[in-house]
Structure 1
């Protein structure tokens, strides 16, 4: 009987402490100043009483770091405010709490360094933005295993010059050239044939491009150039080399057929 009584008293005391903490929390948060403006710490809750958002108000405006949460309790995002405007470091998270993206948000756009992550935590994008929110400078993309996927230069929001393409093993497989933000040509990395047998030309990656391309070997030698349709050379040239890296034959292709 005594043990039951003590257990009941303990439960009542615990309930009293929790109620007191909740009451004190309500007193110290979600307050208005003498002009009816939100002030100090504010907490917003879901209908299940789990916290949804919390941060600080100053004269009715959000200021400083505000945090939002999923219903599970995991952090959803962290956004910095200045006089009610989102301006400052910002981070967004996947539902499991893994970081999704981060950077400096200035009212309507990202500024400076920006990173976006795969769900496994590996970096996906590594971009740079100018003050107008346009991508400028070196931009990088990554595979899920952490290997570089694309690398190139942007200027005022448009691709400029050459973009290098890598496979998941970290090997360069293509170089794409852009002008005025538009794709122009591509050098696709392949093996270098040493005979005129087409089946010796094994590619590192399947090539299905349509348009004007240059296929280039890993050691920098031109393999094919011209107009391709679905990866097949239609009009152009096919180069063959000997073991001393000298061209031993050039076969001309017209309408998809070798002419010599």
Structure 2
């Protein structure tokens, strides 16, 4: 013998109706209602467990979600409807196995295959496979991105991000802290040689360049070095054929001083010094002299202009 049960809102309108057996277990039909009186949920129970096709509705009466329960667990295909399109969820014994996203035009947009070690995400364009992703359930939450032929294009995790050339060679490798750069940042040429290397630091949720940045040509020869302090360039060194050109900077980004050193780290050529507004303060010309002579002998022509000291 089943007993009919009801629950009502504070205003007296019906909220839910169901049936219970002598043990207090829900049996047979179950209905719930929105405050406006429209049906919210409808289905059947067996021994206090959902055990039939269930349908869920919005307050305007439109179907929102529907699918089957088997002994209290979702089973088979469930479909959800929204303004952007629809989503199909595929369950087995209550465990979500596949999720398919469709557009309003019923075109396939995305498929996610759920697994114990990783999820596979397939992205579609005009119903054709466009790209593939692997999302691993490891401690650093590794993600790998492929083209439609399963060629690896990029990797990212909480500790590292990598990207690859079309032919498979490493293009970029970045150390991460969560979503921020923290540590080394490296770019590679297609031939596998290191092209540039930078260092980043993370403080209070902000990532910035700190320390030395180095640039190389494809023959592994150093072309340039930069020194940064909290994302601001302090010193730039260009490695020329016979000399090194050094440029120092004010904190406002303007040049402070520039000139060249020879292989013996002696100043040569024209050295210029600037004010903080960018105007020239002083210019000196250095000549290389014989070692037995005074190394610091300088033929200077100076034009001194008023300006801020560095």
Report the TM range for the smaller structure's normalisation: 0.5 to 0.7
User: In structure 2, which of residues 214, 217, 225 is the aligned counterpart of residue 151 of structure 1?
Assistant: 225
Establish whether residue 250 from structure 1 lines up as the match of residue 299 from structure 2.
yes
Q: Deviations over 1:103-140 (max 9, x none)?
A: 22334421112211123321122111112311112222
Q: CA RMSD in A?
A: 3.8
Unaligned 5+ residue runs, structure 2? 1-88, 99-113, 275-279, 304-310
Establish whether residue 101 from structure 1 lines up as the match of residue 144 from structure 2.
no
Distance 1:239 1:57, change over 3 A: closer
1:67 equivalent in structure 2:
144
TM-score by length of 1: 0.55
1:188 equivalent in structure 2:
260
User: In structure 1, which of residues 113, 116, 138 is the aligned counterpart of residue 184 of structure 2?
Assistant: 113
Once residues 288 and 196 of structure 2 are traced to their aligned partners in structure 1, the CA distance between those partners, rounded to angstroms, is 39
1:135 equivalent in structure 2:
209
Alignment of 1:69-84 (within 5 A): 69-80=146-157
**How far does residue 76 in structure 1 lie from its aligned partner after superposition?**
0.5
Once residues 144 and 223 of structure 1 are traced to their aligned partners in structure 2, the CA distance between those partners, rounded to angstroms, is 29
Once residues 135 and 65 of structure 1 are traced to their aligned partners in structure 2, the CA distance between those partners, rounded to angstroms, is 24
Distance 1:155 1:57, change over 3 A: same
Structure number with the bigger relative contact order (C-alpha 8 A, sep ≥ 6) is 1
1:258 equivalent in structure 2:
none
Once residues 251 and 167 of structure 2 are traced to their aligned partners in structure 1, the CA distance between those partners, rounded to angstroms, is 41
Unaligned 5+ residue runs, structure 1? 1-29, 81-86, 190-216, 255-260
Alignment of 1:173-212 (within 5 A): 173-180=244-251, 182=253, 183-189=255-261
SS at match of 1:73: coil
Once residues 136 and 69 of structure 1 are traced to their aligned partners in structure 2, the CA distance between those partners, rounded to angstroms, is 32
Alignment check: 8 A CA contact 1:53 1:66 kept: yes
